[in-house]
């Protein structure tokens, strides 16, 4: 596949996102879409966004929990890129208009204070992460039906990333029992999902280790000052107008958004 092909496919997905219109999975017309090409399409899509003034603020890991891999019927972790325009302020309002079929999921996020590259240990990842936060990701697939796509499809579509929200509480990850934090997501006060943080990669910090390996395979590193979403602990949840969605993570407080009526 040429760079020209990557650009064309990135443009198609970018336009679908801007128009909030779903399109067939890329593998329908390109059954042999290799994963490295899918990441190249993702990178072209991010270039289109930065050319319009968006700023890259971090990365998201996806499919780091068994629950998510089962829900999406895909078998290995992937990453996507986060920009400043994707962040909803804590306690902010999210409007469903302009999105295709958004879903929300409970996550843990980290902020890095130095660059990480290549194969790193859990200790090195902990050392480089100045804080951990409670986070929710709002996914939106640009593909018809959301559910039935292959790994290269989801990667090309920036791993379904759409929006995210971070708790205002930030704590050094070493102060927490990171792999044993109870997480509970509630909609209008009723619990809809719950899990222990170990559902995320066995320990959410290991998502950072894995991310560095995936980046390294493409000759890239994780810059200092990045936000990293570690991946969802449970399946994602559909939102209705007027919903108040809140995630509480023991030790990290809670984070909420309201869906506009
Ligand atoms: C892929 C992205 C998965 C996560 O946290 O596991 C993800 C998808 O579900 O469409 O963001
Ligand atoms: Mg996610």
Supply the DSSP string of 192-248, one letter for each residue. Answer: EEEEEGGGTTTSTHHHHHHHHHHHHHTT--B-TT-EEEEEESS--EE--TT-EEEEE
Cβ–Cβ under 8 Å, residues 171 and 253: no
Which numbered atom of ligand 1 lies nearest the CA of 236?
A: 9
Confidence check: pLDDT of 161 > 70:
yes
What Å distances lie between residue 49 and 54, 55, 114, CA to CA? 6, 8, 25
Least confident range of 61-75, 110-124, 153-167, 214-228: 61-75
Best residue among 38, 58, 60, 62 to mutate for probing ligand 1, ranked by most atoms within 8 Å of CB: 62
Confirm or reject: Cβ of 63 under 6 Å from ligand 1. yes
Atom 11, ligand 1: residue with shortest CA distance:
62
Residues 10-18: what's their mean pLDDT? Answer: 98
Atom 9, ligand 1: residue with shortest CA distance:
72
Which numbered atom of ligand 1 lies nearest the CA of 65?
A: 6
What's the CATH code, domain 3-260?
Answer: 3.90.850.10
Query: How far is 55 from 49, CA to CA, in rounded Å?
Result: 8
Confidence check: pLDDT of 147 > 80:
no
Confirm or reject: Cβ of 62 under 6 Å from ligand 1. yes
Q: Facing residues of 116 across strands?
A: 222
* pLDDT 10s digits, 48-105: 999 999 999 999 999 999 999 998 889 899 999 999 999 999 999 999 999 999 999 9
Query: How far is 95 from 116, CA to CA, in rounded Å?
Result: 35
β-strand pairing of 244-249 with 182-187:
antiparallel
Least confident range of 65-74, 94-103, 194-203, 218-227: 65-74
202: left (phi over 0), alpha (psi -120 to 50) or beta: left
Given this model, what pLDDT does residue 104 score? 98
Q: What percent of the chain has pLDDT over 70?
A: 100
Q: Which residues of 81-119 are buried (b: 16+ CB within 10 A; e: fewer)?
A: bbbeebbbebeeebebeebbbbbbbbbbbbbbeeebeee
Confirm or reject: Cβ of 163 under 6 Å from ligand 1. no
Confirm or reject: Cβ of 234 under 6 Å from ligand 1. no
Query: How far is 212 from 223, CA to CA, in rounded Å?
Result: 10
* Order of strands, sheet of 244-249, starting from the edge strand that comes earlier in the sequence: 93-94, 253-259, 244-249, 182-187, 190-196
* pLDDT 10s digits, 107-116: 999 999 999 9
Confidence of residue 148 (pLDDT cuts 50, 70, 90): low
Confidence check: pLDDT of 149 > 80:
no
Name the residue with tokens 């890259």. Answer: 56
β-strand pairing of 227-232 with 56-62:
parallel
Per-chain mean pLDDT for the chain: 97
What Å distances lie between residue 165 and 9, 88, 90, 91, 191, CA to CA? 28, 5, 6, 9, 19
């Amino acid at each position: 596949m040429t760079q020209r092909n990557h650009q064309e496919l990135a443009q198609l997905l970018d336009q679908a996102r801007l128009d909030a219109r779903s399109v067939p999975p890329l593998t329908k017309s390109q059954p042999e879409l290799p994963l490295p090409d899918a990441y190249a399409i993702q990178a072209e899509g991010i270039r289109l966004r930065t050319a319009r003034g968006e700023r890259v603020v971090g990365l998201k890991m996806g499919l780091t929990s068994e629950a998510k891999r089962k829900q999406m019927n895909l078998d290995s972790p992937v990453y996507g890129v986060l920009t400043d325009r994707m962040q909803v302020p804590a306690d902010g309002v999210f409007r469903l208009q302009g999105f295709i079929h958004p879903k929300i999921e409970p996550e843990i996020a980290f902020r890095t204070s130095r660059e990480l590259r290549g194969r790193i240990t859990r200790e090195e990842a902990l050392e480089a992460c100045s804080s951990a936060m409670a986070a929710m990701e709002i996914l939106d697939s640009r593909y018809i039906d959301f559910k039935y796509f292959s790994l290269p499809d989801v990667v090309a579509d920036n791993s379904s990333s759409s929006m995210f929200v971070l708790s205002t509480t930030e704590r050094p990850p070493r102060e927490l029992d990171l792999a044993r934090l109870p997480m509970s997501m509630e909609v209008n006060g009723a619990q809809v999902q719950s899990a222990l943080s170990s559902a995320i990669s066995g320990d959410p910090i290991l998502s950072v280790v894995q991310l560095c390996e995936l980046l390294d395979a493409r000759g890239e590193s994780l810059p200092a000052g990045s936000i990293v979403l570690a991946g969802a602990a449970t399946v994602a949840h559909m939102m209705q107008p007027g919903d108040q969605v809140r995630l509480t993570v023991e030790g990290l407080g809670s984070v909420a958004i309201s869906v506009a009526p």
